[in-house]
Amino acid sequence: MKADADPNLIVYFGGEYMPLAEARVGILTHALHYGTGVFEGIRAHWEESAQELFVLRPQEHFERWKRNCGILRIEIPLSPQELCEVLLELMRRNAFRANVYIRPIAYKCAERIGVAPDEQDAFAMVALPFGEYLHAEQGLHAGVSPWRRVEDNAIPARAKICGAYANSALASDEARRSGFDEAILLDENGHVAEGATCNIFMARQGKLITPPVTDNVLEGITRDCVMTLAARELGLEIVERSIDRSELYVCDELFLTGTAVGLAPVVRVDHRPVGDGVIGPLARHLLQLYFDATRGHLPVYRKWLLGVYQARQKPGQEAARMVETSVA
C-alpha cells in the first residue's frame, strides 16, 4: 500500500494556506456523495542545473479548469492569473526542490442530502512531491478494458469531473488485477478513446494518429504539447481520427500522454507486441523532446513554463520571459 501524503504539507483551502492535516471537508459534502467536483492535474519539474522548478502550462490548466467547472456550474472566484499566484505561493511555502504534482479541485460543498446541486462552491489546491506515475522505462503492457469510456451525454469525459473517475478507477483496477500496467478504454461505438488517466497516440504509416476530442476523451494539455513537438520538431503529420481496436494490434508504435504519466510508450497491447515489442524510435525522440521542453532546455518552449523561484513578475508571458533570460 502506498503511504498517505505528508500531513504537514502546506495546502490552500478555504482561502488560506494551512497544513494538510487541518484541511478537512464534512461527511455530508455534496461532492463526496455525488461526484460533483472538477479537478486538475498540473506538473512542475525540478531542473537541478538551473536550480529552478518549472511549472508546465499553468495558465492553460487553470483556463481549462474554469471552463470545465462551468459544465457543473461551479464558480471559481479567481482568475487564471490569480490562481497562478496561489500556485506559486504554495510551491514556495513548501520549498519544493523535486518534481511536483499539483491538484486543484473545485466542488459543490453544501452539506445536506439531495442530489440537485445548489450554488455553494468551494475550491482548494494541493501540491506534493511526485515521481513517476507509471514506470514505463521498458515500455508498458496495456489491455483493452471491458469497461467502456463514459459518453459525453452521460458524464462528459472532456472535463475532469470527479464522478467520472469511477469509470477510470474501474478500468485501472481491472487492468492491474489482470496483469496489465494500464487500461485502454473504448467508447460505446467501439472506438479507442483513451487510457484511464491519459490520452493515446498511435504511429502508423509515418503518421501520428490520435482520437479526436469528440471521441469521449479529455482534451489533454500533454496531448497538445506532444502534437506540437511532433509537428514542429519532427515534421510529422498529425491526424485526429477515430481509431479501431484492431489498429492497436497492427500499428508501429503506441504511447500514452498525460500530466501524471508524461509520455509512456506501450510495447505490448492485449498480449501482442506493438511493432517490434520494444520502445520505438518515434516515442524515444518525443520522450527526449518532451523532457527537454519541460525542463527549460529548449528556448522555443520556455513560454510553456513558469519558474517558481525566479518568477517575480506576474505569471504568464512576463514570468516565462524572465525564466527564459535567467536560464539561458
Asked whether the CA dihedral 161, 230, 309, 134 is positive or negative, the reply is: positive
Using CB under 6 A, pick the residue from 59, 145, 259, 310 that binds ligand PLP: 259
308 three-class SS: coil
Cβ distance to ligand PLP smaller for residue 28 or 166 = 166
Asked whether the CA dihedral 54, 318, 10, 31 is positive or negative, the reply is: negative
- Interacting stretch for ligand PLP, rule CB under 6 A, among 117-125, 257-265, 282-290, 299-307? 257-265
The residues near 183 (Cβ < 8 Å, ≥ 6 apart) are 142, 143, 144, 145, 147, 171, 172, 174, 175, 195, 196
Q: Does 41 bind ligand PLP (CB under 6 A)?
A: yes
C-beta separation of 104 from 57 below 8 A: no
Q: Does 267 bind ligand PLP (CB under 6 A)?
A: no
CA torsion, ordered 40, 80, 82, 15, to nearest 10 deg: -40
- Interacting stretch for ligand PLP, rule CB under 6 A, among 47-55, 87-95, 256-264, 307-315? 256-264
**Nearest distance from C-beta of residue 8 to ligand PLP, angstroms:** 26
C-beta separation of 90 from 11 below 8 A: yes
Q: Does 197 bind ligand PLP (CB under 6 A)?
A: yes
Marked catalytic residue, from 160, 207, 303, 314: 160
- Interacting stretch for ligand PLP, rule CB under 6 A, among 2-10, 137-145, 193-201, 202-210? 193-201
Q: Does 194 bind ligand PLP (CB under 6 A)?
A: yes
**Nearest distance from C-beta of residue 164 to ligand PLP, angstroms:** 8
Q: Does 223 bind ligand PLP (CB under 6 A)?
A: yes
C-beta separation of 106 from 121 below 8 A: yes
C-alpha cell of residue 207: 503518421
Using CB under 6 A, pick the residue from 202, 221, 230, 293 that binds ligand PLP: 221
- Interacting stretch for ligand PLP, rule CB under 6 A, among 4-12, 218-226, 304-312, 313-321? 218-226
Using CB under 6 A, pick the residue from 117, 258, 265, 307 that binds ligand PLP: 258
- Interacting stretch for ligand PLP, rule CB under 6 A, among 103-111, 173-181, 220-228, 281-289? 220-228
**Nearest distance from C-beta of residue 213 to ligand PLP, angstroms:** 11
Question: Phi and psi dihedrals of 24, rounded to 5?
Answer: -130, 145
Asked about 108 being catalytic, the answer comes back as no
Cβ distance to ligand PLP smaller for residue 290 or 309 = 290
E strands in the chain: 10-13, 16-19, 37-39, 42-47, 52-56, 100-108, 121-129, 140-148, 182-186, 192-195, 199-204, 207-210, 237-240, 253-258, 262-269, 272-273, 305-307
Using CB under 6 A, pick the residue from 59, 68, 210, 222 that binds ligand PLP: 222
Task: Say which DSSP state 301 is in.
Answer: G
100/46 Cα distance (integer angstroms): 8
Q: Does 199 bind ligand PLP (CB under 6 A)?
A: yes
110/117 Cα distance (integer angstroms): 8
Residues of span 111-170 touching ligand PLP by CB under 6 A: 160, 168
Active-site positions read: 160
Contacts to ligand PLP by CB under 6 A: 41, 160, 168, 194, 197-199, 218, 220-223, 257-260
